Amino acid sequence: MFKVNRSLPLSVAMLAAVLTSATIAARAQPAALAAVAMGATDIGGVVTGPNGPEAGVWVIAETTGLPTKYAKIVVTDDRGRYLIPDLPGGRYQVWVRGYGLVDSPRVDGTPGQPLNLSATPAPTPAAAAEYYPGMYWYSMLRIPAADQFPGTGDDPGGNGIPTFMRSQYAWVDTVKQSCQSCHALGSQNIRHPRRELGEFANSTEMWMQRIQSGQAASSMAVSIMRLGPERGLSLYADWTDRIARGELPADRPRRPEGLERNMVVTLWDWAEPTTYLHDAISTDKRNPRLFPNGLIYGSPEESTDNVPVLDPSTHRAWTIRHPVANQNTPSAADEPRGASPFWGEQVIWDGRTSNHNLILDDKGLVWFAARIRPAEAQPAWCKAGGDHPSAKVVPLAASGRQLSVYDPGTQKFELIDTCFQTHHLYFGYDADNTLWTSWGGPTGGAIGWLNTRRYLETHDARASQGWAPMIIDIPGWGRRGDYTEADQPLDPSKQKRIIASLYGVQPSPTDGSIWGQSMDTGFSRIDQPGYLIRFIPGDDPTNTGLTEIFQPPPGSFSPRGIDVDSKGVVWTTLASGHLASFDRSKCRAPLTGPNAATGRQCEEGWTLFRFPGPQFAGVDPNGSADHAYYVWVDRFNTLGLGNDVPIASTNGSESLTVLVDGTLHQLHVPYPMGFFTKNVDGRIDDPSAGWRGRGVWTTTGTRTPFHSENGAGERPRVFRVQMRPDPLAR
């Protein structure tokens, strides 16, 4: 990125002349090049550089003339042509961004008028690299060699790696699942530490201060302790020191090719610059034709209790306040924190609801995994000695997050106390419209659900909920029987309870089973591998439910996120740098017996797809440094790439990665730099309108939106990603 030389005065007149000449140059391209069919709501033309047309670069148009800031992004075709379609009326700033370039001057554009643009080549490799996705930068982080594991600790003669860190992959898993999953490690404000942190004797001390800055300090401190902490801090210090000295990524990204050039991205601002959003929702995921052109809702997790709402038809954004049932509910404002280089001592998070995830039902009600009371304020009927049917099997002493439902018609919330903890949530396909939830923490020993049909009829939370232990059928009885507890040795003559916290949860549309996944030690911080988990409810899930677990094959590890396609095939992303599918129908070995307790009984069911891009030096090259937070399967062709297309939220490469006909394609969103999303959903607004009537929706998902290129003024955004049949389609 360039820096302004303040020693050279630039008058207003000179600045105006520069911008005017840039505009004239943009419009003065040969008329023959501008053969782009346009309508009254389009901006189109040709992008050229010193060597001719620029293929596979992005053209961005942005306006502040609507109720909220609005932008649209397209990609040039192989002749450098572009078309930005369906723009609301107004004046736009338009510019070119691309690999091998720096941003062109922003010029005025008006829908209905052609606009040819001049690309600006990067003057140096370093200037070009500032536009690379974050993973190209954080892949430069040096990972301890495989022969340094298990760690030998901090004692004299130790290597500084904790003894519980048993393998190199556990270290990588921690870097990805506990660090990159929330903070976009490769973004500009991470790789270039801000001087506002202070003056330090060395960069290790700077990093020690850095992880204590801001309101995410507690989670960052826990993560760095898992890496050393001195060993981990020294490696991060080495990384930023090398970048400061001018070291660049060893790999360079390719410009968009093929179907990647058909992408159209629309952006709206919503929420406040300090808001940390986890997810957004646009429709009932089981039927994407519901609520066409409707509102988008967000879940702001720890940062605030103000739930953002966007009307994409009117370009208007607002918030609704999520209440709590108990005024002693903890607040993020009470968490320990250090001064922020962006916000100083200002308390920017004050959320109590910890609003993690949300989903729409077929009536348009919005359901939230939200905290409504303190964890320890657990009803007596949940606990040991309680008379709830599930408590008699699995008493629960506390729950850190519960449920709520918002009715847009009445604009009122109902708060639903649950004994089980909630994290992600998804509706089943049964007549009761059962809402299944994941646990989310390291001690999850139960799977919980809410019969929403019963709840909406009775508003009786106690009678409408249930939960069950996870029991593996070691002997192969095919029904629930005697089992050993999770902390007891395996007994082949009995079933076995496991403690494996479901992070994601997903009912299967084919057989009524409920799939989940638990992550490896890097996130769970317990000494067991990550699994795919299949829960078979039976007629009375609390007393009849059985569980199967499946480990990824050797060389891959740590599932994160889960979805099930229309054929019952399960999809997940792996911290080893893979998109993965698991097809249980391919299992040849018995799914019972002692191997069932390890999850190693069906490696043949897995198929792995390596994410594109570089790998950390000295780490298994069969994997990738890229990291995906979650996966969603587009079962209904909402993106226009076909049915059952998995979409991984690869926030390392600042992309949505799609698998089409066995090939991975990365839909990189270049603006603002640091695109970071955690999940998507798709909606069909008009099935007769072709590509224009469908798309997938997501939102900024980083804890620190101010780490993006626009700094402290950057607000979280809603993104709609669409795929047209070619780069010039209207």
Report phi then psi at 682, rounded to 5. Answer: -120, 150
CA distance 672 to 668: 11
Give per-residue pLDDT as tens, 465-484: 999 999 999 999 999 999 99
**Amino acid 19: pLDDT:** 35
The residue count for the chain: 730
Q: What is the pLDDT of residues 340-359, one digit of tens each?
A: 888 998 999 999 999 999 99
Q: How many other CB atoms sit within 10 Å of the CB of residue 730?
A: 16
Lowest mean pLDDT among 492-501, 612-621, 633-642: 492-501
- Please state which of the ranges 122-131, 144-153, 202-211, 398-407 shows the lowest mean pLDDT: 202-211
502-668 is classed CATH 2.130.10.10: yes
pLDDT of residue 522: 80
At residue 30 the predicted structure's pLDDT band, cuts being 50, 70 and 90, is: very low
Exposure string (b/e) for 83-122, b if CB count within 10 Å is 16 or more?
bbbebeeeebebbbbbbbbbbbbbbebebeebbbbbbbeb
Q: Show the CA angle centred on residue 262, arms to residues 260 and 267, nearest 5°.
A: 95
- Residue 179 per-residue DSSP state: I
Cα dihedral 213, 215, 221, 223 sign:
negative
* Other beta carbons within 10 Å of 511: 12
- In this predicted structure, the answer to whether residue 209 has a pLDDT above a threshold of 50 is yes
| DSSP helix/strand/coil, 523 | helix
Residue found by looking up tokens 């017996």 in the block: 593
Would you say residue 565 has pLDDT above 90? yes
d(CA 369, CA 349): 18
Spatial contact of 53 and 46, defined as CB atoms under 8 Å apart? yes
Q: Are 73 and 264 in contact (CB under 8 A)?
A: yes
Task: Please state, for a pLDDT cut of 70, what percent of the chain lies above it.
Answer: 94
Parallel, antiparallel or unpaired: strands 717-723 and 263-269: antiparallel
Distance CA 692, CA 690 (A): 5
Contacts of 599 (CB under 8 A, 6+ apart): 529, 531, 532, 549, 550, 551
pLDDT higher than threshold 50 for residue 16: no
CA distances from 492 to 484, 497, 703 (A): 10, 12, 45
Short-list 46, 24, 216, CA closest to 108:
24
Question: How far is 91 from 8, CA to CA, in rounded Å?
Answer: 31
CA dist 189 to 125, 214, 341, 615, 712, Å?
A: 19, 14, 10, 22, 11
570 contacts 581 by C-beta, under 8 angstroms: yes
Sign of CA dihedral 128, 130, 134, 138: positive
Confidence of residue 24 (pLDDT cuts 50, 70, 90): very low
- Report the distance separating Cα 448 and Cα 251, nearest Å: 45
pLDDT at 430: 97
Q: Can you tell me which residue has the tokens 């942190």?
A: 197
Residue 549 Cα to chain centre, angstroms: 24
**Average per-residue pLDDT for the chain:** 92
pLDDT band at residue 11 using 50, 70 and 90 as cut-offs: very low
Long-range contacts of 23-32 (CB under 8 A, 24+ apart): 23/107, 23/108, 25/118, 26/105, 26/107, 26/115, 26/116, 26/117, 26/118, 27/115, 27/116, 28/116, 29/116, 29/118
CA atoms within 13 A on the CB side of 523: 27
For residue 311, give the 3-state DSSP assignment.
strand
Q: What pLDDT shows up at residue 4? A: 28
Query: How far apart are the C-alpha atoms of 379 and 419, rounded to whole Å?
Result: 7
Averaged pLDDT, 238-266: 97
Per the DSSP assignment, residues forming a β-bridge with 413 are 406
CATH topology of domain 12-54+74-124: Immunoglobulin-like (2.60.40)
pLDDT category at 27 given cuts 50, 70, 90 is very low
Instruction: Please tell me whether the peptide bond between 150 and the residue prior to it is cis, using omega within 30 degrees of 0.
Output: yes
Q: Is the pLDDT of residue 440 over 70?
A: no
pLDDT value at residue 694? 98
| Least confident window among 206-220, 257-271, 631-645 | 206-220
pLDDT digits (tens, 9 = 90+) for 54-91: 999 999 999 999 999 999 999 999 999 999 999 999 99
In this predicted structure, the answer to whether residue 31 has a pLDDT above a threshold of 50 is: no
pLDDT in tens, 360-389: 999 999 999 999 999 999 999 999 999 999
CB contact set of 493 (below 8 Å; sequence gap of 6+): 475
What's the rounded mean pLDDT across residues 409-425?
97
Q: Confidence class of residue 3 from pLDDT cuts 50, 70 and 90?
A: very low
HEC per residue, 190-242: HHCCCHHHCCCCCHHHHHHHHCCEECCHHHHHHHHHHCCCHHHHHHHHHHHHH
The pLDDT value recorded for residue 203 is 94
> H-helix or E-strand containing 413?
strand 412-416
**Calpha distance 467→386 (Å, rounded):** 14
Give the residue range(s) of CATH 2.130.10.10 domains in the chain. 502-668
